[in-house]
Amino acid sequence: MRFTMNLIASCARFIKARGLFCLYFSLFTTLATGQTVTPTASVLSPSQVSQGLQPFSSAAPGAPPAPWRLVGLPKDKAPLAQLDIVALDGAPVLRLRTDQSYGTLSHALPPDTAAGGLRWRWRLDVPMPAANLRRKDRDDAPLKVCAMFDLPLSAIPFVERSLLRLARSVSGEYLPGATLCYVWDHTLPAGTELANAYTRRVRFVVLDSGSQRLGQWVAHQQDLHADFLRLFGAESDTVPPLLAIVVGADSDNTGSTSLGYLGDLSLMKQ
């Protein structure tokens, strides 16, 4: 794996697209390779909830439960953030702690998983005031929940399509064509929507902002289907299947620290 990621970084430097490659491989390197691999929505009934995501509350303190898989950058790029299960408020939750570091957890989904609703709760205790999602050198987030979509190459603009095809070829990984990330940001107001500073293959939605709700659990329920059409609708008028759900935090660009927590995530049928 280290050899593969270093090779990717070298190729990316050569074509002056290092940021795009690092983004793809830091987020998506655990996606399916022969594995069996997923505005606020209205509340759905329990019968509509999919059991496709392993709950953090099912695990003992320590390593996150399978099939959640920890992903980081090569050690010479950034230390690995601490993502582990701890007891908080009487229940096991995922702790996301960064110190000039980067880390994500990836949960692959079965083929043809439809994009419906996604529900979770999170809590931020130590924010990241220096982050700025509009700038490459400050592209960090203390909490993020991302949905990976299997957008066909034919729907992607030519230059980005070529980079994605090359990334898939070099890595041997089936990387997603579109990614939607929900984040907690310190300065951008809630409701802000923007493309990642490195690539438009990733779009951000700011759900919480500032320090008013620090130390409090905040619940969210998002309509992945509607959000995809709003943010990627210019490329596709149909919503492709989900490949994976990824959660994480990073502070490597800003050289800062953060601390947050994430409760169980639930996928819901449309």
Average pLDDT over residues 114-142: 96
pLDDT tens track for 183-231: 999 999 999 999 999 888 999 999 999 998 999 999 999 999 999 999 9
> Does the pLDDT at position 81 exceed 50?
yes
CA distance 131 to 134: 9
Instruction: Check residue 250 and give its pLDDT.
Output: 97
Percentage of the chain with pLDDT > 70? 81
Domain that holds residue 205: 2-268
Give the CATH number, domain containing residue 62.
Answer: 2.60.120.430
Of 32, 97, 34, nearest to 69 (Cα)?
A: 32
Instruction: Check residue 117 and give its pLDDT.
Output: 97
Total domains in the chain come to 1
**11 or 205: whose pLDDT is higher?**
205
pTM confidence score: 0.82
Average pLDDT over residues 41-65: 71
**155 or 56: whose pLDDT is higher?**
56
Instruction: Check residue 53 and give its pLDDT.
Output: 96
pLDDT tens track for 224-236: 999 999 999 999 9
